[in-house]
Amino acid sequence: MTNETVIKTEDLTKRFGDFTAVKKISFEVKRGEIFGFLGANGAGKTTAMKMLIGILKPTSGNAKIAGFDIYNQTEQIKKNIGYMSQKFSLYEDLTIMENVQLFAGIYGLSDDEIKQRSSELIHKLNLQNQADKLVESLPLGWKQKLAFSLAIIHNPRIVFLDEPTSGVDPITRRQFWNMIYEAASNGITVFVTTHYMDEAEYCNRITILVDGVIKALDSPAALKEKYNTSSIEDVFVLLARGAKRND
Amino acid sequence: MSAVEIKNIVKKYSTKKTSVTAVDNISFTAERGELFGLIGPDGAGKSTIFRILTTLLLPDSGSAALLDYDIIKDWKEIRNIVGYMPGRFSLYKDLTVEENLEFFATVFNTTIKENYELIEEIYKQLEPFKNRRAGKLSGGMKQKLALCCALIHKPKILFLDEPTTGVDPVSRKEFWEILKRLKTRGISILVSTPYMDEAKLCDRIALIQKGKILEINPPKNIISKFERNLFAVHSPEMFKLLMDLRSYSKTETCFAFGENHHLVVNDSSISAVDVKKYLESAGHPKATVSNIEPTIEDCFMHLMSK
């Protein structure tokens, strides 16, 4: 982690009609930091994330992602970030290699880079013998590892992960986090949401969003000390139990 | 007579190119009034088992009975005695909350009024939204409506396929409290979940991986059968610590576990003091090591690694 700020938001707000989904959230994330974004269902996580990746215009407030403004530099933002979600990550009816080449192309790599990075990636994941198989034949955990590798194939400044490990078996879940650590140590900032509270502990800092407002923002250890609890789950329950909203 | 008795069930899914054995010779029994958990990750075969038991899918081989009704021969009777909440939201999105409930009651030849007391506690939270279309409900509300619809004909056995997946920890807690109360009404419940911490809320659990059962027992028996020394280890440099613990000659497995790493050693004579000595020599002067009791997740990972 370095001192360089790669995400900075100031009073970021999104209203839908008379409903305020995200209310004046302000935070900074440093380069190489693993930043956990937690909240109850309906707390506003997805809305906030959509604004940060440049696909939803805020109602008010400011944010800079990798130095680019979220109002009028969204194309530059998209080139400098990676994104993966739990629900959609890969094309099931394409082979592993076809997915790799497609994503590398979408992220704007040159033909030479595509050739080189895809072969590196396949080797690193040990998928040499399966490169021609359809993605649908891979177990979920492998799909998610592949999807993560693709989300960072263009070496982005920041990668956004939306519940990347939901439903994944416990061993693969941990292998996935090793990949996150590795990416972070290579200077990629990781912005991640999860419902597994043990995973919150792997983050450098976490925020807990309740009804669109940041209720807590600190390192896991500092939060446990502040709320005098033994686990992040207890902190979460303490802060989120009073939530009015539910999606 | 058991609530559920399944014997040697096999189910394969085949396409032109691949064949996957989703359920690989599984047998188990769930007793009446029991809260029985199927615990395992995606792809373990949990949903396939549920769909076979609720007569929505035929097994390739093996047999199963619910309260002595055979799943193939007596499928009509079975559909009247089971309530099923599928993993994917399967209500009518363009009907309102009340219309959905009414529809399911009518299909089962009953009325909301007749069995209202069974769903009252859950439905009360939905009542302010009873004229809202189901598709417009929040995730937590959809889940509660689906549970009401699965209960409205007063089933004897309830099948809940991953009711808490993607649900935040607070709503998950509330949902399990509802299940506990339903259990006291004498309803047998089979529930599946990928969250290992929910396993301890079941009377008995089956740990499932890749279509096979790794173990069936009450959670506390599974924990007491973990016959290894387990240590929680912490140091300021957690990633380096993980690597260093994995290269320790006494390590069987080591995985990150929230704020600590969990270390299983291959030699029962190794104590926390020995681990600490090794870590000091490996450059972790501030490491803390303590002997702990395993969680269900430790047991699951240990069984998976076997």
List, as one string, the DSSP characters of chain B: --SEEEEEEEEEEE-SS-EEEEEEEEEEEE-TT-EEEEE--TTSSHHHHHHHHTTSS--SEEEEEETTEETTTTHHHHHHHEEEE-SS--S-TTSBHHHHHHHHHHHTT--TTTTHHHHHHHHHHHGGGTTSBGGGS-HHHHHHHHHHHHHTT--SEEEESSTTTT--HHHHHHHHHHHHHHHHTT-EEEEEES-GGGGGGSSEEEEEETTEEEEEE-HHHHHHT--S-EEEEE-S-HHHHHHHHHTSTTEEEEEEETTEEEEEES-TT--HHHHHHHHHHTT-TT-EEEE-PPPHHHHHHHHHH-
CB–CB contact B138 A172 (8 Å): no
**CATH architecture, range B226-305:** 2-Layer Sandwich (3.30)
pLDDT value at residue A245: 67
* C-beta atoms of B169 and A237 within 8 A: yes
State the average pLDDT over residues B151-171: 90
CATH code reported for the domain at B4-223: 3.40.50.300
Distance, in Å, from the CA atom of B262 to the CA atom of B265, rounded to the nearest integer, reads 10
Domain containing residue A188: 5-88+158-240
Q: Residue A41 is nearest to which of B139, B239, B300, comparing CB atoms?
A: B139
* A131 located within any domain: no
Nearest CA in chain A to B300: A170
Residues of B contacting chain A (CB within 8 angstroms): 17-18, 40-44, 137-141, 162, 165-171, 173, 194-196, 209, 238-239, 242, 255-259, 297, 300-301, 304-305
Give domain status of residue A27, yes or no. Answer: yes
Q: Which tens digits make up the pLDDT trace of A8-65?
A: 999 999 999 999 999 999 999 999 999 999 998 888 998 999 999 999 999 999 999 9
Q: Please name the residue that has the structure tokens 């194309």.
A: A75
pLDDT at B15 over 90: no
Per the prediction, chain A carries an average pLDDT of 92
CATH of the domain at A166: 3.40.50.300
Task: Dig out the tokens for B90 from the structure.
Answer: 């399967």
CA distance A104 to chain B (A): 27
Among A75-79, B163-167, B242-246, the least confident range:
B163-167
In DSSP notation, A40-59 reads: -TTSSHHHHHHHHTTSS--S
As a whole number, mean pLDDT of residues B129-149 equals: 89
- Read off the pLDDT of residues A106-138 as tens digits, 9 standing for 90 and up: 988 999 999 999 999 999 999 998 999 999 888
- Residue A136 inside a domain? The answer is no
Q: For residues B143 and B193, is the Cβ–Cβ distance under 8 A?
A: no
Burial class (CB in 10 A: 0-12, 13-18, 19+), A214: buried
Cα distance between residue B236 and residue A18, in whole Å? 46
If one counts the domains in chain A, the total is 1
- Contact call for residues A101 and A137 (beta carbons, < 8 A): no
Q: Domain-by-domain residue ranges, chain B?
A: 4-223, 226-305
Compare A15 and A241 and report the one with higher pLDDT.
A15
Confidence bin at B42 (pLDDT 50/70/90): confident
Half-sphere exposure of B235 (CA within 13 A, CB side): 22
A108 in a structural domain:
no
Predicted confidence (pLDDT) at residue B214 exceeds the cutoff of 60: yes
CB B98 within 8 A of CB B131: yes
In the predicted structure, residue B247 carries a pLDDT above the cut 60: yes
The whole-number pLDDT of residue B164 equals 87
pLDDT of residue B29: 97
The ipTM, to two decimals, is 0.81
Q: How far is CA A89 from CA A143, A153, B10, in A?
A: 8, 14, 30
Is residue A118 in some structural domain?
A: no
- The C-alpha atoms of residue B278 and residue B295 are separated, in whole angstroms, by 25
Cβ contact B256–A202 (<8 Å): yes
**Residues of chain B positioned with their CB less than 8 A from the CB of A174:** 255-256
Residue A115 lies in a domain: no
Residue of higher predicted confidence among A247 and A172: A172
State yes or no: pLDDT of A246 exceeds 70: no
In the predicted structure, residue B59 carries a pLDDT above the cut 70: yes
Q: Would the CB atoms of A198 and B258 count as touching at under 8 Å?
A: yes
Predicted confidence at residue B250, as pLDDT, reads 95
Residue B105: is its pLDDT beyond 90?
yes
pLDDT at B49 over 70: yes
